[in-house]
Amino acid sequence: MSNTASSKPIRLGIVGLSTGGWAASAHVPALAHPSLSSTFTLTALQTSSETSAAAAKEALSKSWPSIDASEVMTYHGRDATDITNDPNVDVILVSVKAPDHKAILDKAVAAGKHVFSEYPPGKTLAESEQIRADVMRNGNIQFQVGLQATHSVLLRKVKKIIDYGKIGKIRSSTFIGNLPREPRYYQPEANDANLYSLDKTNGATLLTIPTAHKLSAFIYLLGPFATVSATGSRQYPTIDIYSAQDPTKFLRTIKSNALDHFTFTGSLKSGAHASITWKSGYKSTPGRKNLLWIIDGEEGSVTFEADDGNIMGTLDQKVSVNGKPVDEYMKDEGIEWVDDPALVVEEHEKGTFFESIRREWVEFGKSLRGGHGEFVSLDDAIEVQRVVDAVERSVELGGLGINLI
């Protein structure tokens, strides 16, 4: 029997819970917080090997102990049949590489489990639409997708300002982003742990992952696209590969088969004009903004700036409304901001992705308990993928406009 309909903690199974991975470094600290301990409990985990599964279980026994001292089941390998059919699991978190998402999600949906999937749910739009069809056939599955930017407190404050009509009708928005060279994710330098993301067939390219995360924020604030016309280029035809274990160790140079610069424009369904440029690999030199986003309304404007290119809530991010810091503007305009008392954030977590990810779980927990939770649904994620797909098709067609209505 599922615990989602009771007052007992919702039982969570995590696929991809290896030490040092995204689930362990981001989701576990969010979920292990005392404020969520009565909502979620870990009952099962799966990693690639028996050794790593045992190591993860041991680490979690200290950082996230079960509140009722129940045993955490461990599974390993690529086949997720056993964990998705575990009767002591209500929700499956899928936190593995993008090409492997669909095989696990198919099994979770077939087993009737609720799902939290990292983005993208499927590595292509077609895969995600097939997942949605299966979810709809089941009829009783709640499905959250990890697009954390929409849970940033700064983004939510700006949405409130826009929804209040404070900057008037939105006429246009310009977004310029760069994924800096130093983290070595994409062109022209990458570490060998990220090799899979450099192959466009794996669905984890610059456009399909980092750009899509920013698109989710764009759509969250301004609404969906009606049309898209895009161009792209390969400014870095080769990629230097370095060791993830020893960053000073150069391994080899490979050819790039994915584009590293995109510009796309279009109309939003609201009628506003949108222009987005996304690029990879520029050095973080003094004065360079890795993110600049301007939203122009008839009566005012909003500006986002960040040196690290992140909009999920970062310590160096600057958000201003009509030239004033967002909090100062809200105070001057008498706009009250009261955060959800269910979201407990420690001082050192404020302005970090831990805050956004904990909000994801707080909201999902509300919904799973039968209440109203605000989170990125499978439909929302597919709306983002529709734009990504339209950009790819438009580039292939030499900038031809793609209609999304």
Alpha-carbon distance of 79 to 76, in angstroms, equals: 8
CA distance readout (Å), 199 to 60, 98, 186, 206, 282? 33, 12, 10, 10, 20
Considering the entire predicted model, what is its pTM?
0.95
Task: Count other Cβ atoms within 10 Å, centred on residue 293.
Answer: 23
Alpha-carbon distance of 51 to 331, in angstroms, equals: 53
pLDDT given for residue 314 in this prediction: 47
Alpha-carbon distance of 289 to 285, in angstroms, equals: 9
Contacts of 224 (CB under 8 A, 6+ apart): 268, 269, 383, 387, 404
For the chain, residues with pLDDT lower than 70 are: 1, 4-6, 68-69, 308-316
Cα torsion through 216, 220, 225, 228, rounded to 10: -30
